[in-house]
Structure 1
């Protein structure tokens, strides 16, 4: 009973940390974007650059995470990251200067990496050491809850608060979330064995597997970032959907909240790579529905599909990374996120440029869907590489490790 209670508290710390660093510090920007454009004079291209700068911060954090092996240092940086998430949120409401906003978005990106990678790695390490199932579906529900919560909060607050006051309100929400996120995650155990006495050993995949996996995850990053950043603005500009953008963003959060748990079950039945391929195909459909069919129904259904798949892919990939590196999960998580993060820098900047040149965000969605299709093909090729590596291992000639 005590073990299960501790597990719930640790997973709860992860959920609250993700709501803070991704919901408050990161995703609140998306539903607030149209309001900042109307009230604070933020331009379309500048909005894209701010999103790209946020991902540059996230990418920098991922690089740091990939280089650190010391669990104690990771724990310290995780806690510092949660505090800076609140500071970066407050800074958004303190100025209308683009440079201040850019610095805030970069710092928010760093804090997102601290919660998403260092925090996730610490939690997965705790689960493995305490002989719990190494699945992160419950933990990653925090991302969907963060998205849905931010969309709901903006929908409510917009009736009485301007853009600046809403950033300050999110800062207060972040302070509340900070308490359990810090208090419920225990200090890391640095021993090399689990509670049952089993030795923890890393089993890295082959270099070819890693290269293809990173390329596929880059494609997933492009597919994710365009909709995640611009979906509210996209919906607001579609015929007959003015004023409906926040509802669609809320649908993404609702779809995302249970998604990781669902994909954990799916992966148990059909395997991790097959689950990733299925999620990628469904995500392509979700991306294209709003522009190919139109109407609020298609937009909401597409948002539910998108929310129910993009975070499932992230959860599956990071869980796989933790299984390959149980003693230092953030090592491969950081490498994979470098690939995902690079896409998240390129995607918003290109989409902002396309929107400025063509007067519409639609081209960005078609680009995202095309790149996702390429990523799906790479995942299919990865299945063959996995079979080849398994066969070589059985024959006693394993591939050289990365």
Structure 2
């Protein structure tokens, strides 16, 4: 019983860290983007650049995570990142200067990588070390809850607070989330065995598998970032849907909150790669529904499909990385996120440019869907590579010494 209580506290620390760094520090910007455009003079292209700068910080954080092996250092940087998440949120409400906003978005990206990679790696290491199932569905529910919570908060606060007041209110919320995010995560254990004495050994995939995996994850990053960043502004500009963008973002969060747990269950039955392919196909439908079906039904249906798949893909990929490298999960997580993060810089910048040229972000959704089609094809190729690698491993195991 005591071990189960400790498990829930550790997973709780992860949920609160994602609520703080992914929800407040990162995703509060998405529902506040139209508010800042209307009240703070933020332009279409500038809005895209701020999103790109945020992912630049995330990419730098991913690079740092991929280079660090020491668990104690990871733990220290994770805790610093959580404090930075609070400070970056405060910065957004204290200035109208684009440079200050850009610095805020960059350091918020660093804090996001601290939660997503360092925190997730520490939690997965703890789960494996204590002989718990190495699944992150409960942990990653924090992202969906963060999206839904920020959407609901903006919808409520917009009736009585301007853009600056809302950022300051989010800062107060971030201070509350900071406490369990820091207090409930125990200090890391550097030993190479689990609590029952089993050895923790890394089993890295082949170089070809890793390259294809990173390429597919890059495509998933393009598909994710455009919808996640611009869906509020896109839906608000569709005919007859003005004011419904925040509702779409809320639905994304509501779809994402339980999705990771569901995808863990699907992966148990089908295997992780098959689950990833299914999620990618469903995500394509979620991306294009607002434009092809139209109306509130298309917007809400697309948001629900997108929300229930994008975070499932992230959870499955990072769980796979942790299983390949149980002693240092953040290293492969960092490498995968470098690919995902590069897409998250390119996607918003291109979408912002398209928005400046055509006066709408809608073209970005077609770009996102095309990237996901390519990513799905790469995942199908990856299945063939996995079968090849397994045959080679079996042949090597049966060969005479």
Instruction: Tell me the TM-score normalized by structure 2.
Output: 0.99
Runs of 4+ in 1 over 3 A off after TM superposition: none
Instruction: State the Cα distance separating 1:146 from its structure 2 match.
Output: 0.2
How big is each residue's C-alpha offset from its partner over 1:328-379, in whole Å with a ceiling of 9 and x where there is no partner? 0000000000000000000000001111112222211001100100000000
Q: Give the distance between the partners of 1:343 and 1:374, measured in 2 at CA.
A: 13
Q: What is the 5 A alignment of 1:85-164? A: 85-164=85-164
Unaligned runs of 5+ in 1: none
1:242 aligns with 2:242: yes
Residues in 2 aligned to 1:254 and 1:185: alpha-carbon distance in whole angstroms: 26
Structure 2 unmatched runs, 5+? none
Cα deviations by residue, 1:141-190 (Å, 9 ceiling, x for unpaired): 00000000000000000010000000000000000001011000000001
Residues 266-345 of structure 1 aligned to structure 2 (within 5 Å): 266-345=266-345
Deviations, residues 82-113 of structure 1 (Å, cap 9, x unaligned): 00000000000000000000000000000000
Look up the match of 1:381. Answer: 381
Which residue of structure 1 aligns with residue 65 of structure 2? Answer: 65
Q: Aligned partners of 2:248 and 2:393: how far apart in 1?
A: 47
In the TM superposition, what is the alpha-carbon distance from 1:283 to its structure 2 partner? 0.3
The aligned residue for residue 372 of structure 1 is 372
How far apart are residue 252 of structure 1 and its match? 0.2
Residues 217-247 of structure 1, C-alpha deviations (whole Å, 9 max, x = no match): 0000000000000000000000000011110
Q: How many residues align?
A: 398
- Supply the distance in 2 between the matched residues of 1:387 and 1:112 (Cα, whole angstroms): 35
1:156 & 1:336 partners in 2: Cα distance?
A: 37
Matches of 1:153 and 1:36 in 2, distance apart? 15
Aligned mates of 1:358, 1:164 — CA distance in 2: 29
Cα distance between partner residues in 2 of 1:139 and 1:334? 18
The secondary structure found in structure 2 opposite 1:54 is: helix
Q: d(CA) in 2 for partners of 1:93 and 1:150? A: 16
For 2:263 and 2:296, how far apart are their aligned partners in 1?
Answer: 27
State the TM-score, normalized to the length of structure 1. 0.98
